[in-house]
Chains A and B, each alone.
Chain A
Amino acid sequence: MSKSMLVISRQAPWAGPGAREALDIVLAGGAYDLPLGMLFLDDGVFQLTTAQQPGDIQQKNLSANLQALPMFGIDELFVAASSLERRGIAADTLALPAQCLNDSELAALVDRYDQVITL
């Protein structure tokens, strides 16, 4: 049985390649049919807001790659409620179908996976 991996993405989308490179880890694992989950935490939740215009700063649209997650078989998507709240983002306005978790649920989430990387 394959080991499962949780990738915790904390970077805002346009702060450099960090957010994209975190996502690439997940998509690469999905391409190999590995059991992966992705949690958006802290500034990582900014990746999930809608109507972003990255072309204005000559960046590629990360949203398109995020939308690819289910196509790669990654449907275990989570977002930290406390991170959303702190940033004034309503949970029902997100661009991805991510499960909103409170802090104790986050601890249980980390526990469920065989490996975790937080980047």
Chain B
Amino acid sequence: MKFAIAVFSPAHAPSSRRALMFAQAALAAGHEIVRLFFYQDGVHSASANVVPPQDEFDLPKAWRELVNQHQLDAVVCIAAALRRGVLNAEEAQRHERPAANLPASWELSGLGQLHEAAQVADRLISFGGP
């Protein structure tokens, strides 16, 4: 079966970890993840600049590893990202901001990608809040 997974919360929210665990379980069960879409505060879950305390789980790193290992289509909503200061190199340059913090594994795009994923997938599962 095909899943579209939307993440609305930052890396320090338990719901972001829950989304990751769900994604891992879905893949382990042989299902397909058509897209990961990060929206609202979920854009922070993709930030390369998050530095968790040494004795805590590094969730942004885990997300990067999941995306890279399974070659997942990982999209961050550009409007939500800009508003929250999550920028790739191109956007940082375009808006003359001092730093980029979105790794290459993620694509900045629009809400159309959420809708396209929702149309293609058998289920759309959203994670957010605590």
Contacts and interface: CB of A to CB of B under 8 A. Distances in A.
A91 interface: no
A29 B112 CA distance: 7
Chain A interface residue bracket vs B = 10 to 19
Interface string A5-18: 10000000000011
Contact of A5 (B80, B110, B118, B128): B118
Contacts of A29: 111, 115
Interface string B77-105: 00110010000000000000000000000
Contact of A31 (B8, B79, B112): B112
A32 B112 contact: yes
A28 B40 contact: no
A32 B115 contact: yes
Contacts of A18: 40
B87 to A, nearest CB: 17
B83 A17 contact: yes
Main secondary structure of the interface of A (DSSP, over half): mixed
A65 interface: no
Contact of A28 (B6, B110, B124, B126): B110
Interface string B16-57: 000000000000000000000001100000000000000000
A7 B39 CA distance: 14
B4 to A, nearest CB: 9
B119 interface: yes
B114 interface: yes
Nearest to A21: B40
A65 to B, nearest CB: 13
B124 A117 contact: yes
Given A28-B111, A28-B112, A28-B114, A17 B124 contact: no
Interface of A: 2-3, 5, 17-18, 21, 24-25, 28-29, 31-32, 34, 115, 117, 119
Nearest first, the 4 closest Cβ-Cβ pairs linking A and B are A28-B111, A115-B124, A29-B115, A117-B126
